[in-house]
């Protein structure tokens, strides 16, 4: 970023720390420079993972919409470095860095696409279908970036649970079965998809089984 770093409000958060908590006044958003952040919303006694954001994403965009109180928690999954921006400084930053606007727009559109995928996943009835659906989609995105390599996803069980709306233990069980059946290879929170077409076929097969169960129960 071309702007003088001395004029930026750069903040560091340790893994597990909060960028903000639900109920706090909304004063700023955060442009992530490094690390990953999990956004969580609580409804009564339940906790709902909204998503995982990474470098280049804006966290806490309600600050740009005039909201008064936070409705979610933003928790650092890793050590995080972020630029704190209120409405005024965000506008000034875009004025000084016009090339930043299309980059942020692209990231916003990516986040919307991810949310749509999460909604689709939440409509699936069983845990394996949700996990396979998410891995297949992420695998094809990874393949587009590196077409000559096996799709490799740097994704922890906690992050995947955020995407599919399941608890971490259910995700771990589904991932373990996929690994044992030769669909995946796992090392240091990196999931390598060994056969993306086979994984897509498995997703279709799980859908057919779910449809058969549904017809029997109707």
192 pairs with which residues across the strands?
A: 152, 185
Query: Is the distance from CB of 59 to CB of 39 less than 8 angstroms?
Result: yes
- Determine what percent of the chain is predicted with pLDDT higher than 90: 29
30 pairs with which residues across the strands?
A: 59, 84
pLDDT band at 214 (very low <50, low <70, confident <90, very high): low
Same domain, 38 and 93: yes
What residues contact 184, with CB distance under 8 A and at least 6 apart? Answer: 135, 175, 178, 191, 192, 193, 194
Burial class (CB in 10 A: 0-12, 13-18, 19+), 196: middle
Indicate which CATH number applies to the domain containing 178. Answer: 1.10.10.10
Same domain, 108 and 89: yes
Cα three-residue angle 79-82-85, rounded to 5 degrees: 155
Last residue of a domain, one of 116, 133, 158: 116
Decide if pLDDT at 25 tops 50: yes
Same domain, 131 and 81: no
Least confident of 61-70, 102-111, 189-198: 102-111
Same domain, 101 and 155: no
Region 57-67: what's the mean pLDDT?
Answer: 85
Indicate which CATH number applies to the domain containing 24. Answer: 2.60.120.10
pLDDT score, position 163: 76
Same domain, 111 and 132: no
Region 179-199: what's the mean pLDDT?
Answer: 90
Region 73-87: what's the mean pLDDT?
Answer: 93
E strands in the chain:
10-13, 18-20, 29-34, 36-43, 46-54, 58-59, 73-76, 80-85, 152-154, 184-187, 190-193
Give every strand in the sheet of 18-20, ordered side by side: 18-20, 73-76, 36-43, 46-54
pLDDT score, position 31: 92
Range of the domain at 28: 5-116
**Structure tokens belonging to residue 82:** 């972020």
User: Count H helices, E strands: the chain?
Assistant: 6, 11
| Number of Cβ within a 10 Å radius of residue 103 | 11
pLDDT band at 2 (very low <50, low <70, confident <90, very high): very low
Residue with tokens 């909060």: 18
Decide if pLDDT at 116 tops 60: yes
pLDDT score, position 129: 86
pLDDT score, position 91: 85
Query: Is the distance from CB of 8 to CB of 73 less than 8 angstroms?
Result: no
Question: Mean pLDDT in the chain?
Answer: 83
Last residue of a domain, one of 116, 133, 155: 116
- Top mean pLDDT of 3-12, 88-97, 105-114, 179-188 is at 179-188
Query: Is the distance from CB of 74 to CB of 18 less than 8 angstroms?
Result: yes
pLDDT score, position 166: 79
Same domain, 57 and 152: no
Same domain, 48 and 151: no
Q: Could you read off the pLDDT of 160-173 as tens digits, one per residue?
A: 887 787 788 988 99
> How many folded domains does the chain comprise?
2
Last residue of a domain, one of 83, 116, 149: 116
Q: Indicate the Cα dihedral angle 53, 57, 59, 161, nearest 10°.
A: -10
**Structure tokens belonging to residue 177:** 């079965």
Q: Using N-to-C axis directions, what is the helix angle for 100-122 and 87-96, rounded to 10°?
A: 120
Same domain, 11 and 107: yes
Same domain, 48 and 111: yes
pLDDT band at 125 (very low <50, low <70, confident <90, very high): low
């Amino acid at each position: 970023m071309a702007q003088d770093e001395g004029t930026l409000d750069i903040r560091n958060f340790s893994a597990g720390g909060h960028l903000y908590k639900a109920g706090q006044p909304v004063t700023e958003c955060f442009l992530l420079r490094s690390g990953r952040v999990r956004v969580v919303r609580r409804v009564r006694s339940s906790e709902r993972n909204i998503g995982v954001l990474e470098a280049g994403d804006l966290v806490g965009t309600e600050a740009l919409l005039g909201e008064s109180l936070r409705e979610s928690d933003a928790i650092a999954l890793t050590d995080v470095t972020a630029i704190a921006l209120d409405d005024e400084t965000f506008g000034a930053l875009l004025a000084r860095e016009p090339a930043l606007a299309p980059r942020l727009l692209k990231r916003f559109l990516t986040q919307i696409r991810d949310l749509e995928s999460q909604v689709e996943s939440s409509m699936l009835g069983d845990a394996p279908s949700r996990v396979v659906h998410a891995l297949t989609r992420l695998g094809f995105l990874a393949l587009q970036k590196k077409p000559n390599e096996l799709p490799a996803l740097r994704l922890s069980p906690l992050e995947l649970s955020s995407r599919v709306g399941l608890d971490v233990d259910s995700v771990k069980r589904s991932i373990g079965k996929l690994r044992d059946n030769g669909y995946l290879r796992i090392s240091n929170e990196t999931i390598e998809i060994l056969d993306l077409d086979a994984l897509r076929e498995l997703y279709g097969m799980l859908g057919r089984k779910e449809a058969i169960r549904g017809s029997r129960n109707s």
